[in-house]
Amino acid sequence: MNHITPSIARLLLVDDHPLVRDGLRARLEAVGQFEVIGEAGNAQQALALAETEAPHLALMDVGMNGMNGIALANLFHERFPAIRVLMLSMHDNLEYVTQAVRAGASGYVLKDSPALEIIQAIGAVLAGNTYFSAQLSARLIHASATQSPVERLTPRERDILDALADGLSSKQIAQRTGLSVRTVETHRLNLKRKLDIEGQAELIKFAVEHRRTRR
């Protein structure tokens, strides 16, 4: 599993309300092992900071002007799969949570959660785990029980899985998708983690067995 265990965790705050970002920064920087390396009020700013500052985790609002947080989480997952994404939202709608997970987010915490819970969520996600606010967890587990592992993959992960089924190498997948080889390798690691698969041969076997039907 691709764990992140930095001594100082680099955080990116993505929210279109400056007051919310100010409050978050104050709470998080009071914790010795967190450093807020940037703030973004929209998707374009967030993507630029992700490219130049290489945060370990992006704390991202769902409801933003322009591109919303779920669509942005999907872009982060495609372009920067090594950056963990934790959604922070005022919405406890289970559909939003499900969409965020499918987009590649590793957790979803409500904005009215205590500061301690937000800190715990960040720690869990940085460690390679998932975290959901307590009032969401039971509902999410119930909804996920009927899903197959493949249904929980993001669209990009399905693309990578199909490419593996076609027998392509990481370099060839990178050429097909327009991603870097390193990004493709990170997606492969994430696939093994999500599917609870250890080796490359087992991953390729799974990919062949679950290849999507081509139209």
Domain 150-209 -> CATH class:
mainly alpha
pLDDT score of 34: 92
Domain spanning 9-144: which CATH class is it, in words?
Answer: alpha beta
**Please, where in the chain does CATH 1.10.10.10 lie?**
150-209
pLDDT one-digit tens code per residue, 156-206: 888 899 999 999 999 999 999 888 899 899 888 888 888 888 888 888 888
For residue range 45-93, what is the model confidence (pLDDT) as tens digits?
Answer: 999 999 999 999 999 999 888 899 999 999 999 999 999 999 998 888 7
DSSP-assigned letter for residue 32 = T
Q: Is 118 within 8 Å of 15 (Cβ atoms)?
A: no
Overall average pLDDT of the 12-18 stretch: 95
For residue 119, which of 9, 55, 6, 28 has the smallest C-alpha distance? Answer: 28
Q: Which two tokens stand for residue 182?
A: 């390193």
Whole-model pTM above 0.75? no
Q: Where in the chain is the domain with CATH 3.40.50.2300?
A: 9-144
Using pLDDT thresholds of 50, 70 and 90, give the confidence band for residue 2: very low
For 58: left if phi > 0, alpha if psi spans -120 to 50, otherwise beta; the answer is beta
CA-to-CA distance for 194 and 181, rounded, in angstroms?
A: 20
> What confidence score (pLDDT) does residue 59 get?
96
